[in-house]
Amino acid sequence: MVLTYKKKKARNLFWYAFKYYGRAQWGERLAKLIETSLNNSPFKGDFSQVTLIKRKERVSEDSSLWKEKDMFPGYIFIEMADKKEIIDFILSLKLLQPFIGKNTSFHPLSLGKQGLRASDLLDALSKQRRAEKEEESTKRQWEEGMKVVITSGIFEGRNAEIIKVDDANKVLSLFSVVHGKKVEIDVSEDSVRLV
């Protein structure tokens, strides 16, 4: 699978992988949010595209129906200039805060500018995931039943209880009381602290 290079102007653009935490279906909304924000910023000419990488696969072996599936769930790919100001701008977007951890950063992928090959991405992401797993192994693990306080997002300051831990995506499912009703909330691990 090859993503073609959308060239706006002759400039040095590089691919970056951006890790987000949450459900896979949020990826498209977050990518659109980043793209719209960049288009309305002073960095409009410093990026080419914001995308998810998908592949088509059959619903079942004997089916004629196809569905699209993320090749790299939890990652958004941004082709942009190598400027720290752009990265700081994206990380400061308020609507993005609930989906990124405090230590979230962009990871440059050393790929050629003629196209983005899936094999190149797999190699780059496997190195990135190894580094993330090493970092994760040094962190404290969350457990079901722990009492926490949500520290960012629209539910900031609310007490909650962990009901499910998704270590692969670093997402916690919580129960909290909102307007007198129990609701389930998914947040990144970095968006809570112990009570």
- What confidence score (pLDDT) does residue 135 get? 60
| DSSP code string of 98-143 | GGS-TT--EEEE---SS-EEHHHHHHHHHHHHHHHHHHHHTSPPP-
Q: How many residues does the chain have?
A: 195
pTM, entire model:
0.53
- What confidence score (pLDDT) does residue 10 get? 38
- What confidence score (pLDDT) does residue 76 get? 85
Q: Which CATH superfamily is domain 2-137 in?
A: NusG, N-terminal domain (3.30.70.940)
Q: Where are the domains of the chain?
A: 2-137, 147-194
Which CATH number among 2.30.30.30, 1.10.3470.10, 3.40.190.10, 3.30.43.10 corresponds to the domain 147-194?
2.30.30.30
Tell me the pLDDT of the chain (195 aa) as tens digits: 334 334 444 367 777 888 888 777 788 889 999 999 999 999 888 888 888 877 777 777 777 777 777 777 788 888 888 888 888 898 888 888 888 766 666 666 655 444 555 566 667 666 666 666 666 555 557 888 889 999 888 888 899 999 998 877 788 889 898 888 889 999 988 888 888
Is the CA virtual torsion 135, 83, 23, 110 positive or negative?
Answer: negative
- What confidence score (pLDDT) does residue 39 get? 92
In single-letter form, the type of residue at position 20 comes to Y
Angle at 106 between CA 101 and CA 107, to 5 degrees: 125
